[in-house]
Amino acid sequence: MRLRMTVVAAVATLAGSVGLYPLFTTGRWVWAALGAVLCAAGGAAAARRLGRGAPLDAAGGLLALLLYLTAVFAHGRALLWIIPTPGSVAHLVSLAGSGWDAVNRYAAPVPLVPGILMLVAAGVGLVAVLVDALAVRLRRAALAGLPLLAMYSVPAAVREESVSWLAFGAGALGFLMLLTADAREQVGGWGRAVPAARRDAGAADAADGERVQPGALAASGRRIGAAAVALAVLVPLAVPGLHPNGMLGGDDGGGGSRTVTTPDPLVSLKRELTRPDDSVVLTYRTNDAEPDYLRLYALDRFDGDRWTYDPLRSTPRDRVTGGPLPAPPGLTLAPTRTVRTRVTVRPEVRRMTFLPVPYAPARLSVDGDWRVHAESLMVYSLRDSAGGRTYTVDSLRAEPTAADLSAGGSYPADIVRRFTAYPRSVPAAIRQLAEKITARANSAYEQAVLLQRWFTAEGGFTYDLSAPAPQHGGDLTAFLLRSRHGYCEQFAASMALMARLLGIPARVAMGYTPGTLSNGVWTVRSKDAHAWPELYFQGAGWVRFEPTPAGAAGQGTAVPPIYTADTDPTSPDDTGTSRNRTDPREARDEPSRAPSHAPAHRDERLDDTGAAAGDGGTGFPAGWAALVAGLVAGLLVLLGAPMAVRALTRRRRWAAAEPPSEPRRRLRAPGGGPPRGTGPADAAHAAWRELRSDARDHGLPFRANESPRATARRLTETLELERPAREALGRIAMAEELARYARSGARVPRGALRADVRTVRAAFAAAVPRRTRWRARVLPPSALESAGRGTRAALDGATAGATDLSRAAGDALRRVARR
């Protein structure tokens, strides 16, 4: 029945599934996968007893997997809680569909909703069935690596970060165990293995040069295996399509366009808001006394369930070059002022491919390949991340008054067509509610202000981070009409939808609130992540509104816009337009936002480095000195590494030929003779190896098919060596010949040989050009050979250890099977 192979195949599948860990928010999927693998392996083993062939084995595994999925996910509709029925099968299909929808909606790591958990169990179980059929029944263990690789490729395909080496090592070890177990099964079919006869150490040493070591072939096999694994890891990095742009770039510099893809922004928002550590995302300095929000995304499409944005088509013409960015749409009449902000994103931030900038960015200075979407002014990159970057952005901050917004003209046709669209599935009750709230408004601006006030003050809403993220259109309906509990995503999405129902162009923006101020530096943390609606008014362009409750009972650092806070749009002033009774900056009570903490002058300007004028800054970006010092130190270490390797190799060679101390001599050679490896012959070998390395460092040919005497003669004639160097080279060659061929061995003292090697090295350096001489000192080629031998030895040791571990595991499994 090949029970051991069945167990090893199951273990290999579980080890390969470890790589799925980054895809999920919790580890509950492990237990579901474990049960699926055990049931699939057990079903295949039970079917194998019948001996009807591989198809029946696979059918047994699939049937056991179906029973498992039914018992875990559809037991309420099954017969005796385990036997499938049409109702249970239909429920599993429906659950798979909902899980697939959730997978496409969420960005990794995804929450383990029942549909996703069922897909994980079914997927890992199917892989277990395939591995069992290939490795156990068909005896093709190497082919069984394909389904294991497919399972590993899932996180590699959907995540930008690579899977950890531990997860990769677990999967590789499982596959090696499978290959080892299969090889033992194949060899075991020929009968009992006959071990080699053991001999004493002395006899073994004497015969080392007369017999071929059987471990040499094994070492070659291990090196080939290690090289294959290295190629499997490195080649996908260099192939465009398997890795973004490939290792060598693969840019679209030829003028083509590429589609910009990114994880679901709103899923990332929920994850940021619920992080327990509330870590720092970025810091910035600005000459704006009351900074505006930092925007990442502009979500302009509502599909009935979620707010997203249409895929961006990026071309090389969209690159940020340091010149003026496209003009903000619609901003033609409202007064504006230029704000300079210098942002530093923490290095720990990952996968931030959109830059947080105040709207509307007019000029940007940033390193890397960054691009701008002309319509939304989102700044993004196809290859770079904002983590660890410092950049400066000049923004046009619009300052419209209530009168400006109330007097806005008619909307352009393209704006109306694109930003007032909504699905027909939106319930009529939401439209009726929006019309009821804004019944007393006389303009689109007044409608927007009344909607904002209804969310923040009059509607009875509660800010609640524990509320689930909206996944379907019905979730927004429930939020508006029943629960009225949610966080910024629900507030922003609902107000933008209601604005569109009233004919006001609207979209949802996402980014960060201004954060908190301390010693002239604003700090933005993960819990400052935020979503808000942007409404379009002709002459002012896209204008921010804030329907999310602020302060201690809401989003702590949210700020109502000055043109909407505490404004009664139905109370006209003498001109018949709405008036702003209270400046919201005077009504804020957060200590970190108090005017006393703000910069003294509203129009203070930043210099070109981003430091505020008069703040005592050095003008040199923080952290750059450490970065430059680190680069210089790294360069020096890199340049000195070959010299250090060469010096270490030389020292180890002479140390190996050093005679041991008297106590060690007595311990290792009780008979009084010199121990192996410390006699004059070893000093001669060390001198000859040093001579060979020196020759190669200086670009001199050193032929393996020549005798030491012939090599010395050729080098002497080629270089026209002087008498001292010629005699020293002759002594080294003679000592090597005596060490190789004479029964009594070499008689030249070690100290004399070392002095001769120094003499010949100096002669080599004097005989070659200056460039070659400096290369031999700074970048000696022999250092690469020494490093390569060390690497090969390390690989041999590592692969030998893995083989021993797998062999021990196989022996343990065999003992268990015998019991």
Residue 427 sits in a domain of what CATH number? 3.10.620
pLDDT for residue 78: 85
More confident residue, 116 or 552: 116
The 8-class DSSP code of residue 673 comes to S
CB 702 within 8 A of CB 694: no
CB 343 within 8 A of CB 279: no
Residues 606 and 729 in one domain: no
Residue 574 has pLDDT above 50, yes or no: no
pLDDT for residue 662: 47
- What percent of the chain is predicted at pLDDT more than 90? 21
Least reliable range by pLDDT among 190-204, 310-324, 518-532, 770-784: 190-204
Tens digit of each residue's pLDDT (9 = 90 or more) over 349-381: 877 889 999 999 999 999 888 999 999 999 998
Mean pLDDT of 55-66: 85
Is 344 a domain residue? no
Residues 559 and 673 in one domain: no
CB 302 within 8 A of CB 497: yes
pLDDT tier for residue 605 given thresholds of 50, 70 and 90: very low
Residues 612 and 656 in one domain: no
Mean pLDDT of 4-26: 85
pLDDT tier for residue 668 given thresholds of 50, 70 and 90: very low
Query: Coil, helix or strand for 763?
Result: helix
Is 817 a domain residue? no
Mean pLDDT of 264-275: 67
Residues 171 and 121 in one domain: yes
Mean pLDDT of 181-209: 57
Tens digit of each residue's pLDDT (9 = 90 or more) over 430-478: 999 999 999 999 999 999 999 999 999 888 899 988 777 776 667 788 8
Is 376 a domain residue? no
Residues 11 and 101 in one domain: yes
Tens digit of each residue's pLDDT (9 = 90 or more) over 702-729: 887 888 888 888 888 888 888 888 888 8
Both tokens of residue 94? 């429906």
Domain, as residue range, for 492: 403-508+551-617
Mean pLDDT for all residues in the chain: 77
Mean pLDDT of 525-549: 92
Residues 591 and 688 in one domain: no
Residues 562 and 447 in one domain: yes
pLDDT tier for residue 536 given thresholds of 50, 70 and 90: very high
Residue 35 has pLDDT above 60, yes or no: yes
Residues 573 and 714 in one domain: no
pLDDT tier for residue 804 given thresholds of 50, 70 and 90: low
How far is Cα 800 from Cα 644, in angstroms, rounded to an integer?
Answer: 29
Residues 609 and 653 in one domain: no
Is 185 a domain residue? yes
139 exposure class (CB count in 10 Å sphere: 0-12, 13-18, 19+): middle
694 exposure class (CB count in 10 Å sphere: 0-12, 13-18, 19+): buried
Number of domains in the chain: 3
How far is Cα 540 from Cα 553, in angstroms, rounded to an integer?
Answer: 31
Torsion of CA 335, 341, 345, 350, to 10 degrees: 30
Tens digit of each residue's pLDDT (9 = 90 or more) over 496-510: 999 999 999 999 999
Is 731 a domain residue? yes
Residues 677 and 592 in one domain: no
CB 133 within 8 A of CB 57: yes
How far is Cα 628 from Cα 689, in angstroms, rounded to an integer?
Answer: 40
Residue 328 has pLDDT above 90, yes or no: yes
* pTM of the model as a whole: 0.48
Residue 86 has pLDDT above 50, yes or no: yes
Strand partners, 567: 580
More confident residue, 720 or 789: 720
Residues 414 and 563 in one domain: yes
Residues 176 and 40 in one domain: yes
